[in-house]
Structure 1
Amino acid sequence: MTLVEAVHETHGATFVERGGTRVADHYGRPETAHRAVRNVAGVTEMAYGVLTITGEDRIEFVDNAVTNRVPAEDGRGCYALLLDPQGRIETDLYIYTTTDRLLVFTPPDRAEAVASEWSEKTFIQDVDIENATESFGVFGVHGAQATEKVASVLTNATPSESHLSFVRGSIDEAGVTVIRGDGLAGEEGYEVVCAADVAESVFDALINNGLNAAPFGVRTWESLTLEAGTPLFDTELRGEIPNVLGLRNALDFEKGCYVGQEVVSRVENRGQPSRRLVGLACEALPDPGAAVFAGDSTVGEVTRAVESPTRDEPLALALVEFDLDTDGLTVRIDGEERTARVEPLPFVEGSDRSARLPTYE
């Protein structure tokens, strides 16, 4: 459940379930909030599961489990994946290193499973894993003026300019950690982490103090990230092989990718995939799972679609055959074949670029 439901309600929020967690869906005008982020800044409560990893062997243990290098230095982080023995994505993760622990953000419905799985594999290593989701509030600040927004309320620190790095300071006299995000909304972005008992005051300060910022919910987050060309866990990543998604920022190709006691071959994740993720501008709004056709042949399916507030037209992400000739595509919408054209990602250029933009060799 959201930590700041009462504050959401004062702003007129409606709620929805995501990953078993009750989160703010929107505040009455999601398109207006979307445009506020593109032009100035917005604030949202992030739906993460949170793990804390302590013990002398914590970095080595997590590094051996995930697809990317876990940084050793305080104040740095990485984006990484957990894969199954077939190389498919089980979980995506953000991992941040402090002097005495790792802070790991997971999709909300994956925190307990990851904590349980890892706890069974520590063997004689000095590692302690705790599901600390209820101990932390995490708020996203995104927008063309997100840096100015954060700077206007943050004391005793200056927002970091490097992606996935963080500083410690205060907001409204509450201690916070401020992480520079990786551009998932296509705009400058930060995540503000605080203790659960000060979450309401921090969220209120982010909205009302300093530079103006509009509250927004997951509906706006989904439209922002689609315009930015960002694949999300529940709609694009879960169960896929990373190279199908062009998800190169999560992989360190100089290391083996350990999954339990299995090692997933680096070659398997570097070769040409059978499918790729593309952007479609559509004649009408398709449903997730809608078939994509080239002539009479099914060549893929839509993973997510929105009515774009910035472009004022239906946009979609779709997984299609890798070597597909993209001329003359259609998408089945309400039982009819409707025209769709492939467009380069991102659909919208903002103040930052998503680190998850599909990249294929």
Structure 2
Amino acid sequence: MQAHSPASPLLSLPGAVAAEAPDDGVAAHYGDLFREQRALADGTGFVDLSHRGVITVTGEERLSWLHLLLTQHVSELPPGRATEALILSPHGHIEHALYLVDDGETTWAHVEPGTQGELIAYLESMKFFYRVEVTDTTGDYAVVHLPAGSITESPEGVAVRETPHGRDLFLPRAELESFAAANGPAAGVLALEALRVEAHRPRFGLETDHRTIPHELGWLGSAVHLEKGCYRGQETVARVHNLGKPPRRLVFLHLDGSEVKLPGHGAPVRLAADGEEGRQLGFVTTSARHHELGPIALALVKRNVPVDAGLIVDATAAAQEVVVEP
């Protein structure tokens, strides 16, 4: 079991309610989930993601070396350009997801909470003769997320990942409280998760299990470069891409709003026509309450589930939207 980051000092802010795993250590919300969601959707506030792991890679050969290990094309990654990448098993199953940016001297990446130790151990085992240094900087740097459209200025000298979904700052951990005081209001991770589910964006450890391949989650577009080889699991990626038949596919679910309780991770998905005793065809990966859409979820289902079929999660009716084409 990997060590997690220390609990965030922002848990002392008024109204803060601590999140549960895998996001323990930061706030789930600060007393008003929907207000926090609307603020993020409007481009205001920030999200404390200081529980996420942070690693840095330095050395002149860092990008050419990472290029050999990652699913993404990074050998010529320009300074300041954000990208994301995966590390796969020899059989093509997802083992790590990295959210990267290079500042011209250092490659910065944040990863799921507590996974940085295992990731670094793998990277260290692959250094060979390359002149690179891999460092766990989680204790020194905290990830802070600014939503798309935010006018908050990024602090000078701080590495920034800017994407269509917002900016991730690699903020010195000692500056977290002063940043929060100057740039509030804070929004909890539940607000950000609801917007992530709405945007159909997968998250390692929630949308994945031990046998997930990138094709099932729609990660080919953003985290996998199909024109490069030379990485572990590439043969599986190419074969499934050419055949076009991943065993499962990610779907977006609109859940019946009359149910009070959201389905948990792993809740079974079945055909509505078969009822609660029908054969399980998939499982919920993330569920959320959205300020406009109501209860929503992502789920992983068998590829051959009809795209127009009504589904149920436990006893809750669910209408599906296609994320990954069958």
Q: State whether residues 279 and 317 of structure 1, in contact with CA within 8 Å, keep that contact through their aligned partners in structure 2.
A: yes
Question: C-alpha separation between the residues in 2 aligned to 1:7 and 1:230?
Answer: 26
Q: Are the structure 2 counterparts of residues 20 and 318 from structure 1 closer, same or farther at C-alpha, using a change threshold of 3 Å?
A: closer
One-letter code aligned to 2:268: A
Question: C-alpha separation between the residues in 2 aligned to 1:20 and 1:35?
Answer: 21
- Structure with the higher strand share, 1 or 2: 1
Q: Are the structure 2 counterparts of residues 39 and 84 from structure 1 closer, same or farther at C-alpha, using a change threshold of 3 Å?
A: same
User: Secondary structure in 1 aligned to 2:27?
Assistant: strand
Aligned length: 308
Q: Are the structure 2 counterparts of residues 180 and 316 from structure 1 closer, same or farther at C-alpha, using a change threshold of 3 Å?
A: same
Question: C-alpha separation between the residues in 2 aligned to 1:224 and 1:25?
Answer: 14
Question: C-alpha separation between the residues in 1 aligned to 2:179 and 2:72?
Answer: 32
1:92 and 2:97 equivalent? Answer: yes
1:37 and 2:37 equivalent? Answer: no
Greater CA drift, 243-252 or 283-292: 283-292
Q: How do residues 124-139 of structure 1 correspond to structure 2 at under 5 angstroms?
A: 124-139=129-144
Aligned partner of 1:353 in structure 2 is none
Aligned partner of 1:55 in structure 2 is 59
What do residues 225-255 of structure 1 show as CA deviations (whole Å, max 9, x unaligned)?
1122221122103431000112121111111
TM-score, normalization: structure 2? Answer: 0.85
1:289 aligned to 244, 266, 283, which one?
Answer: 266
Aligned partner of 2:28 in structure 1 is 25
Q: State whether residues 278 and 342 of structure 1, in contact with CA within 8 Å, keep that contact through their aligned partners in structure 2.
A: yes
1:194 aligned to 171, 181, 196, which one?
Answer: 171
1:339 and 2:297 equivalent? Answer: no
User: Secondary structure in 1 aligned to 2:205?
Assistant: helix
Q: State whether residues 161 and 169 of structure 2, in contact with CA within 8 Å, keep that contact through their aligned partners in structure 1.
A: yes
Question: C-alpha separation between the residues in 2 aligned to 1:339 and 1:104?
Answer: 39
Q: Are the structure 2 counterparts of residues 340 and 30 from structure 1 closer, same or farther at C-alpha, using a change threshold of 3 Å?
A: same
Greater CA drift, 84-93 or 39-48: 39-48
Question: C-alpha separation between the residues in 2 aligned to 1:132 and 1:13?
Answer: 26
Identity of aligned residues (%): 28
Aligned partner of 1:273 in structure 2 is 246
1:104 and 2:109 equivalent? Answer: yes
Question: C-alpha separation between the residues in 2 aligned to 1:360 and 1:246?
Answer: 9
User: Secondary structure in 2 aligned to 1:76?
Assistant: coil
User: Secondary structure in 2 aligned to 1:222?
Assistant: helix
Q: Are the structure 2 counterparts of residues 266 and 288 from structure 1 closer, same or farther at C-alpha, using a change threshold of 3 Å?
A: closer
Q: Are the structure 2 counterparts of residues 236 and 110 from structure 1 closer, same or farther at C-alpha, using a change threshold of 3 Å?
A: same
What do residues 22-43 of structure 1 show as CA deviations (whole Å, max 9, x unaligned)?
1112111112211222234221
Gaps in structure 1 of 5+ consecutive residues: 155-168, 184-188, 208-213, 345-357
1:307 and 2:298 equivalent? Answer: no
Shift of 1:98: 2.3
Aligned partner of 1:116 in structure 2 is 121
Q: Are the structure 2 counterparts of residues 2 and 113 from structure 1 closer, same or farther at C-alpha, using a change threshold of 3 Å?
A: closer
Gaps in structure 2 of 5+ consecutive residues: none
Q: Are the structure 2 counterparts of residues 287 and 51 from structure 1 closer, same or farther at C-alpha, using a change threshold of 3 Å?
A: closer
Aligned partner of 1:163 in structure 2 is none
1:250 aligned to 209, 218, 223, which one?
Answer: 223
Give me the CA root mean square deviation.
2.4
Question: C-alpha separation between the residues in 1 aligned to 2:321 and 2:23?
Answer: 34
Q: Are the structure 2 counterparts of residues 125 and 204 from structure 1 closer, same or farther at C-alpha, using a change threshold of 3 Å?
A: same
Q: How do residues 143-182 of structure 1 correspond to structure 2 at under 5 angstroms?
A: 143=148, 145-146=149-150, 149-150=151-152, 153-154=153-154, 170=156, 175-182=157-164
Question: C-alpha separation between the residues in 2 aligned to 1:118 and 1:279?
Answer: 34
Q: State whether residues 91 and 238 of structure 1, in contact with CA within 8 Å, keep that contact through their aligned partners in structure 2.
A: no
What do residues 2-59 of structure 1 show as CA deviations (whole Å, max 9, x unaligned)?
6784444133212234448511121111122112222342211123211111123211
Shift of 1:87: 0.7
What do residues 251-289 of structure 1 show as CA deviations (whole Å, max 9, x unaligned)?
111112523xx6534423413212111111122343332
Question: C-alpha separation between the residues in 2 aligned to 1:190 and 1:79?
Answer: 13
1:216 and 2:187 equivalent? Answer: yes
User: Secondary structure in 2 aligned to 1:82?
Assistant: strand
